[in-house]
Structure 1
């Protein structure tokens, strides 16, 4: 029996889909903020999830919003390497 691991970006995608049960997928280049998949009420929780998943600390005071605008941007900025 092989153990299947979930890619870090999939953890983030599943969190978003869990908040929007009407959705079945989130495109890698879809604007999460503009499309209201991450709103102001869930933003801090979303950033915390990225921190937990990536194993990094994110300074909200210096966060470039474009770094968390799409799944592609999150993967490049926080999950690459």
Structure 2
């Protein structure tokens, strides 16, 4: 069975899982900060990963941290409405 194509959003999920090798998955509504999947030391790199995958700059002066708390909120804020094959 062929694998589904990797989307740009998958890069965000892959980044979280790569930094948490004890995890096999991350729930779409799981709080990434509260569950320490993204910590303060890696937060800037996390934002950069989202920017690169979404192809957009995240304005830090208007950033709402709730938009970055879960994979669902990240998808909704930065990826919805994009072509799934390209992000």
> For 1:10-40, what per-residue CA distance to the aligned partner results, in whole angstroms no more than 9, with x for missing partners?
1111111100110000000000011010111
User: TM-score scaled to structure 1, two decimals?
Assistant: 0.91
**How many residues were matched structurally?**
80
User: How large is the RMSD of aligned CA atoms in angstroms?
Assistant: 1.5
Tell me what 2:51 maps to: 51
Unaligned runs of 5+ in 2: 82-87
Which structure 1 segments of 5+ residues have no match? Answer: none
Structure 1 or 2: more helix by fraction? 1
Structure 1 residues 55, 40: closer, same or farther in 2, change over 3 A? same
Q: CA deviation at 1:60?
A: 1.6
